């Protein structure tokens, strides 16, 4: 593929750091993880960061650490990777789904309010900052305060994004990030929980380490969700490079929009003025996705469809909710390469492939 949809980059320095860890024999969780946690908390602007083995384990551990369990119902987005809802299930709670905003693709505050007002058993809200664009957090913070709900962020795709100047990950009771290889930064696999709440942070460290309070003392049944030193040294290097990568993603997105916004049948991404998009994905909307895909394939350009089926319409769930916007977007969204390795010549290749399916207006 001449222009792939993702291209993870591991520096020579990170590879050397991994070899140093291997040579030290201190391979598992340890001081390198603590250093990565501290640096990540500083980056986000929270008092605490707790590293985990994946984005999904970060979500699950965050929820359990915050006390979410069998008596809880959590509103989240139906238009996301399935782990957003699965983590709620893993914690023993029940996910319910409000619809999404047709322009930002994020959980719609008005639809969420309707759901909260209709169901007295809802105890928390977890918006997803989809594709790297922050959800409308002011509205969710107001809703959480009004109904005494907990507020969590699924920031798996939004490293480096900001809402009204504040970094995502510091906008609710707690947040979780993913370091999967396609994300804006990676540790291979891995995740991070961020919070200002001392109790959530302390509990999260127990949840990911078998409920441990001492060398062989375990307060409750927890999990092995720990990050390794090998992952942490990669993450620390990636975190240092993240600001530059995010800036490159934004520049690539701006160039793509400049070339595609006049193409008939293509709707380019919306970025509200109060938000800074991290562009994990550059996602357009088209009512002729089949033709666009064919044009991209002919041009040897990678693409992704995130996500063709809403979470409640997956076989693992039972469908049911009225989410017309999310279902329509599942049929119309298409993501184009925007990662830092995309060069100006690649932008021309991508846009030319897309333009072959439309007529410039």
pLDDT for residue 200: 98
pTM of the model: 0.96
Q: Supply the pLDDT for residue 320.
A: 79
List of domains in the chain: 12-99+106-236 (3.40.640.10), 242-355 (3.90.1150.10)
Q: What is the DSSP letter of 315?
A: T
Rounded Cα gap, residues 35 and 21, in angstroms: 14
Give the integer Cα–Cα distance in Å for 141 and 143.
5
Q: What pLDDT, on a 0 to 100 scale, did the predictor assign at position 341?
A: 97
Question: Alpha carbon 205 to chain centroid distance?
Answer: 21
Q: Which residues pair with 195 in a beta bridge?
A: 48
pLDDT the model gives residue 39 = 98
pLDDT of the residue at 359: 43
Verify cis geometry, omega within 30 degrees of 0, for the bond prior to 126: no
Question: In angstroms, rounded to a whole number, what is the distance separating the alpha carbons of residues 186 and 239?
Answer: 9
Nearest to 115 by CA among 134, 87, 140, 85: 140
3-state class of 61 per DSSP? helix
190: DSSP letter: -
Residue 356's pLDDT is 83
Q: Which runs of consecutive H residues, i.e. helices, occur in 179-272?
A: 198-207, 229-260
Q: What is the DSSP string of 326-348?
A: HHHHHHHEEEE--STT--HHHHH
Query: Which residue pairs from 142-149 have beta carbons closer than 8 angstroms and sit at least 24 positions apart in sequence?
Result: 143/109, 143/112, 143/113, 143/116, 144/172, 147/116, 147/122, 149/116, 149/122, 149/123, 149/124, 149/125
Local structure of residue 25 (DSSP, 8 states): T
Each residue's pLDDT, cut to its tens digit, for the chain (361 residues) gives 799 999 999 999 999 999 999 999 999 999 999 999 999 999 999 999 999 999 999 999 999 999 999 999 999 999 999 999 999 999 999 999 999 999 999 999 999 999 999 999 999 999 999 999 999 999 999 999 999 999 999 999 999 999 999 999 999 999 999 999 999 999 999 999 999 999 999 999 999 999 999 889 999 999 999 999 999 999 999 999 999 999 999 999 999 999 999 999 999 999 999 999 999 999 999 999 999 999 999 999 999 999 999 999 999 998 879 999 999 999 999 999 999 999 999 999 999 999 886 544 3
| Cα gap 321→318, rounded to integer Å | 9
User: What pLDDT does residue 81 have?
Assistant: 98
Instruction: Name the strand (E) or helix (H) holding 269.
Output: none
Per-residue pLDDT, 243: 97
Q: How many helices (H) and strands (E) does the chain have?
A: 11, 14
Q: What pLDDT was estimated at residue 361?
A: 38
Question: Which pLDDT score is estimated for 215?
Answer: 85
């Amino acid at each position: 593929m001449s222009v792939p949809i993702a291209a993870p980059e591991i520096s020579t320095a990170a590879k050397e750091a991994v070899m140093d860890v291997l040579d030290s024999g201190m391979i598992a969780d340890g001081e390198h993880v603590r250093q990565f946690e501290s640096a990540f908390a500083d980056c986000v602007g929270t008092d605490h960061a707790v590293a985990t083995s994946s984005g999904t384990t970060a979500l699950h551990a965050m929820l359990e650490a915050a006390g979410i369990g069998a008596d809880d119902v959590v509103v989240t987005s139906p238009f996301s990777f399935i782990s957003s809802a699965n983590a709620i299930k893993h914690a023993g709670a029940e996910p319910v789904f409000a619809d999404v905003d047709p322009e930002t693709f994020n959980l719609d505050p008005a639809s969420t309010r309707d759901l909260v007002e209709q169901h007295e058993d809802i105890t928390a809200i977890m918006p997803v900052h989809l594709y790297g664009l922050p959800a409308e957090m002011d509205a969710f913070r107001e809703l959480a305060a009004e109904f005494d709900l907990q507020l969590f962020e699924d920031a798996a795709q939004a490293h480096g994004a900001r809402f009204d100047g504040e970094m995502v990950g510091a906008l609710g009771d707690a947040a979780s990030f993913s370091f999967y290889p396609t994300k804006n930064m990676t540790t291979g696999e891995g995740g991070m929980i961020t919070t200002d709440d001392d109790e959530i942070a302390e509990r999260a460290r127990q949840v990911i380490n078998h409920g441990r309070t001492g060398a062989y003392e375990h307060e409750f049944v927890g999990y092995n969700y720990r990050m390794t030193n090998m992952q942490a040294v990669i993450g620390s290097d990636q975190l240092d490079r993240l600001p530059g990568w995010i800036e490159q993603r934004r520049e690539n997105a701006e160039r793509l929009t400049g070339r595609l916004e006049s193409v008939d049948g293509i709707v380019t991404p919306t970025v509200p003025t109060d938000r800074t998009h991290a562009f994990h994905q550059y996602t357009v909307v088209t009512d002729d996705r089949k033709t666009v895909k064919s044009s991209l394939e002919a041009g040897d350009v990678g693409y992704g469809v995130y996500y063709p089926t809403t979470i409640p319409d997956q076989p693992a769930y039972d469908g049911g909710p009225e989410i017309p916007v999310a279902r329509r977007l599942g049929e119309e969204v298409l993501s184009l390469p925007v990662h830092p390795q995309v060069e100006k010549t690649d932008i021309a290749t991508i846009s030319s492939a897309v333009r072959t399916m439309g007529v410039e207006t």
